[in-house]
Amino acid sequence: MKPVATAIAIAFGLIVLLGYFLPLPPLPALRDTFVGWAVILAAIATLIGVINLLAVHTNKISLQQPGNGYSLILIAAFILTLILGLWEILTSPAAPLTRQVVNSIQFPVEASLMGVLAASLAFASIRLLRRRRSLFAILFFVATLVFLVAGSGLFGILNLPGADYLQTALDRLPVFGGRGLLLGVALGSLLTGLRVLVGADRPYGG
């Protein structure tokens, strides 16, 4: 069974890839069809992921493992949200309750976590030189201060000569690193796809 799955994966991948480069009549249509099937499978995979999440937390509750209380809250919230959303779909397309849940619970919680992260990063920066006193630690410390100052708009406020150029340079400086990241990500994605096409990597369990 494993060789069959590998063969199917390789075949479909090659057809889609060829459909991108060869505008031959059957290939683009097949490409679009296979991509549509992938979208459906991705949606189903998301749903399966949600179901697996429920199963894990349910098992955790049944085995009375440590932290099963949080699992109970999660399952309860899920069920409540599911019921509420299904009901609103049937009754009210606007789904005000669902939006209220998002606005009242999810948004504040995640925003608060982001605020705690910011404070923790500031605190870690304060203790950075005490824990590690190295060149890279000092460089990072200085870089942090510079970009905090640049992002705060002090250069524009001070109206220092060359502040604009300094601001532009500071804005452009991360781009260089970002470009490298993008290239690395692109190359990694390309190699991953090639590995799947040649059968070296079989994330589907083949």
Residue 130 CA to residue 146 CA, distance in Å, equals: 20
Residue 191 tokens read as: 């190699």
Cβ of residue 128: shortest distance to another protein, in angstroms? 6
Residue 6 tokens read as: 């590998």
Nearer to another protein, 7 or 154 (CB): 154
Q: Are 159 and 171 in contact (CB under 8 A)?
A: no
Cβ of residue 81: shortest distance to another protein, in angstroms? 11
Nearer to another protein, 14 or 69 (CB): 14
| Residue 82 lies near another protein (rule: CB under 8 A) | no
| Residue 3 lies near another protein (rule: CB under 8 A) | no
Q: Tally Cβ neighbours within 10 Å of residue 69.
A: 10
User: What angle do helix axes 163-198 and 2-21 make, rounded to 10 degrees?
Assistant: 130
Cβ of residue 166: shortest distance to another protein, in angstroms? 12
The dihedrals phi and psi of 62, each to the nearest 5 degrees, come to -65, -35
Cβ of residue 68: shortest distance to another protein, in angstroms? 26
Residue 54 has, within 13 A of its CA and on its CB side, a CA count of 11
Cβ of residue 35: shortest distance to another protein, in angstroms? 5
Q: What character string, x for contact with another protein (CB under 8 A) and - otherwise, covers 14-53?
A: ------x--x----x---x--xx-xxxxxx--x-------
| Residue 203 lies near another protein (rule: CB under 8 A) | no
Q: Are 141 and 129 in contact (CB under 8 A)?
A: yes
Query: Interior CA angle at 93 toward 48 and 82, to 5°?
Result: 30
Give contact residues for another protein (rule: CB under 8 A): 20, 23, 28, 32, 35-36, 38-43, 46, 98-99, 102-103, 106-107, 110-111, 113-114, 118-119, 122-123, 125-130, 133, 141, 144-145, 148-149, 151-157, 164, 167-168, 171-172, 174-175, 177-179, 181-182, 185
